[in-house]
């Protein structure tokens, strides 16, 4: 019997700067996506579960410093790291998530333990770390998450923020209250800067979650997502990534979805669940539902980003409304496909 098993992944969406991209940087991203897809594809080819395939894919993406999740996460306004992750099993509708964690090497593994070993769905901060430690997961020194590239982004954002405050004569207390406003401020500020020559996507305007969705040979779906959030976010700010239904959703009856973009808009649109709901309630195809959410619903409130989705027949949709999204998919027995641009 031919298997429809497939895995799709993303490494964030955002503004593209073709001119600033070196062939070497582009090759690095393709190679990283390819390696992660191969690992997920192998699990599915061996008859493994979709839940295991997405867990492993996101764990590998977290360990890769190219992407904004795990090691490589962006800095908060206080130059710290606060990480979020979630996972959902389409077979049982069980889910697990952690948010605002500072010392968990692999937040997706903690989310998976929440799914499997707890009656709850979401743990935050120190409670999440204590839960994960009790489950035997690795805690790391917060320095583990420091990368020079992300720190340069923080410095740029910080300098611009100070300049704006000096200019307005405003106090730090009047910083924009929501992270989306901060991100926009940083993005606008970044327009005045020279692009970093190494990055295909402008790092200051890039949304950088990682995610994976999969269908296994038994017909089960799963989704997982992980992020460092948005550069210069206010400490304590949480986006869509750890929220089931907003940044992550899976239901065997419909589809599995993982999102990336301006988290506040994905929360307000309950974006991941909306793809599933459109399939369930109005009989939309995966492609029609995913496109409607990304190209119509989210854009109504200027929600920039994209998502990856797979349905129970093995159809794959990877829509985004930004110039680029690191992405790829791999069917069992076929070559891995990776892409960056529109
Ligand atoms: N959605 C994530 C957040 O708002 C960021 C991203 O996808 O890049 O935290």
CATH of the domain at 318: 3.60.20.30
In the predicted structure, residue 241 carries a pLDDT above the cut 80: yes
Q: In this structure, what DSSP letter does residue 196 have? A: P
Of all atoms in ligand 1, which is nearest to the CA of residue 237? Answer: 9
pLDDT in the model for residue 153: 87
Give the full edge-to-edge strand order of the sheet including 305-311.
Answer: 248-250, 255-261, 305-311, 316-317
In the predicted structure, residue 253 carries a pLDDT above the cut 50: yes
pLDDT in the model for residue 165: 77
What residues line ligand 1, using a CB cutoff of 6 Å? 12, 207-209, 227, 229-230, 239-241, 247, 260-261, 263
**Which residue's CA is the closest to the ligand 1 atom numbered 9?**
229
Whole domain around residue 126: which residue ranges?
Answer: 6-144+202-341
In the predicted structure, residue 270 carries a pLDDT above the cut 50: yes
CA angle 249/251/253 to nearest 5° reads: 150
Beta bridge partners of 49: none
> Can you say how many angstroms the Cα of residue 110 is from the centroid of all Cα atoms in its chain?
16
In the predicted structure, residue 161 carries a pLDDT above the cut 90: no
pLDDT in the model for residue 191: 35
- Gap from CA of 185 to ligand 1 centroid (Å): 16
pLDDT in the model for residue 193: 40
**Which residue's CA is the closest to the ligand 1 atom numbered 7?**
260
Q: Do the domain assignments include residue 169?
A: no
Of all atoms in ligand 1, which is nearest to the CA of residue 14? Answer: 8
pLDDT in the model for residue 301: 97
Q: Do the domain assignments include residue 50?
A: yes
**Which residue's CA is the closest to the ligand 1 atom numbered 1?**
263
In the predicted structure, residue 69 carries a pLDDT above the cut 80: yes
Beta bridge partners of 307: 259
Of all atoms in ligand 1, which is nearest to the CA of residue 266? Answer: 1
In the predicted structure, residue 95 carries a pLDDT above the cut 90: yes
In the predicted structure, residue 133 carries a pLDDT above the cut 90: yes
Catalytic option among 55, 209, 254, 338: 209
Number of domains in the chain: 1
Mean pLDDT computed over 16-27: 77
Mean pLDDT computed over 171-183: 42
- Gap from CA of 239 to ligand 1 centroid (Å): 6
Q: Do the domain assignments include residue 275?
A: yes
Q: In this structure, what DSSP letter does residue 259 have? A: E
Of all atoms in ligand 1, which is nearest to the CA of residue 262? Answer: 4
Q: Do the domain assignments include residue 92?
A: yes
Residues 59, 85 contacting (CB under 8 angstroms): no
Candidate from 72, 81, 263, 294 with most ligand 1 atoms within 8 A of CB, to mutate: 263
Active site includes 231? no
Structure tokens at 289: 């539902």
pLDDT in the model for residue 179: 41
- Gap from CA of 180 to ligand 1 centroid (Å): 10
pLDDT in the model for residue 56: 98
If you search the block for the tokens 């923020």, which residue do you land on? 161
Candidate from 241, 321, 324 with most ligand 1 atoms within 8 A of CB, to mutate: 241
- Gap from CA of 78 to ligand 1 centroid (Å): 18
Of all atoms in ligand 1, which is nearest to the CA of residue 264? Answer: 4
pLDDT in the model for residue 53: 98
- Gap from CA of 263 to ligand 1 centroid (Å): 5
Which stretch of 1-10, 12-21, 46-55, 122-131 has the lowest confidence by average pLDDT? 12-21
pLDDT in the model for residue 205: 54
Residue 269 and residue 248: Cα distance in Å, rounded? 13
In the predicted structure, residue 4 carries a pLDDT above the cut 70: yes
pLDDT bin (cut points 50, 70, 90) of residue 22 is confident
What is the pTM (predicted TM-score) of this model? 0.90
- Gap from CA of 3 to ligand 1 centroid (Å): 33
Which stretch of 76-90, 142-156, 297-311, 327-341 has the lowest confidence by average pLDDT? 142-156
Structure tokens at 6: 């497939």
**Which residue's CA is the closest to the ligand 1 atom numbered 5?**
229
In the predicted structure, residue 200 carries a pLDDT above the cut 90: no
- Gap from CA of 229 to ligand 1 centroid (Å): 5
Q: Find the helix or strand (DSSP H, E) in which 268 lies.
A: helix 263-268
């Amino acid at each position: 019997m031919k298997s429809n098993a497939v895995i799709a992944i993303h490494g964030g969406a955002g503004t593209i700067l073709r001119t600033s991209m070196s062939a070497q940087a582009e090759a690095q991203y393709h190679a990283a996506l390819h390696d992660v897809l191969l690992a997920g594809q192998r699990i599915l080819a061996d008859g493994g579960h979709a839940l295991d395939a997405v867990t492993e894919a996101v764990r590998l993406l977290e360990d890769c410093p190219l992407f904004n999740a795990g090691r490589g996460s962006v800095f908060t306004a206080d130059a710290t790291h606060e990480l979020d992750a979630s996972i959902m099993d389409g077979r049982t509708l069980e889910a697990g998530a952690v948010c605002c964690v500072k010392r968990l090497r692999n937040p997706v593994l903690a989310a998976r333990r929440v799914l499997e070993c707890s009656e709850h769905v979401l743990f935050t901060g120190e409670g999440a770390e204590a839960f994960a430690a009790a489950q035997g997961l690795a805690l790391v020194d917060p320095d583990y998450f420091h990368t020079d590239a992300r720190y340069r982004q923080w410095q740029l954002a910080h300098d611009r923020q100070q300049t704006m405050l000096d200019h307005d004569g405003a106090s730090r207390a009047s910083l924009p209250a929501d992270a989306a406003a901060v991100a926009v401020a940083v993005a606008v500020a970044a327009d005045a800067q020279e692009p970093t020559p190494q990055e295909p996507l402008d790092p200051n305007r890039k949304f950088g979650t990682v995610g994976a969705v999969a269908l296994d040979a038994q017909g089960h779906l799963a989704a997982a997502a992980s992020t460092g959030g948005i550069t210069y976010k206010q400490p304590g700010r949480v986006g869509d990534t750890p929220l089931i239904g907003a940044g992550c959703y899976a239901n065997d009856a419909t589809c599995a979805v993982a999102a990336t973009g301006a988290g506040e808009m994905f929360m307000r649109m309950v974006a991941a669940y909306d793809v599933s709901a459109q399939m369930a309630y109005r009989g939309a195809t995966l492609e029609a539902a995913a496109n409607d959410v990304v190209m119509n619903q989210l854009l109504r409130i200027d929600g920039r980003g994209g998502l990856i989705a797979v349905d129970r027949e093995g159809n794959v949709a990877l829509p985004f409304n930004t110039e680029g999204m690191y992405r790829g998919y791999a069917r069992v027995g076929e070559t891995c496909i990776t892409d960056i641009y529109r």
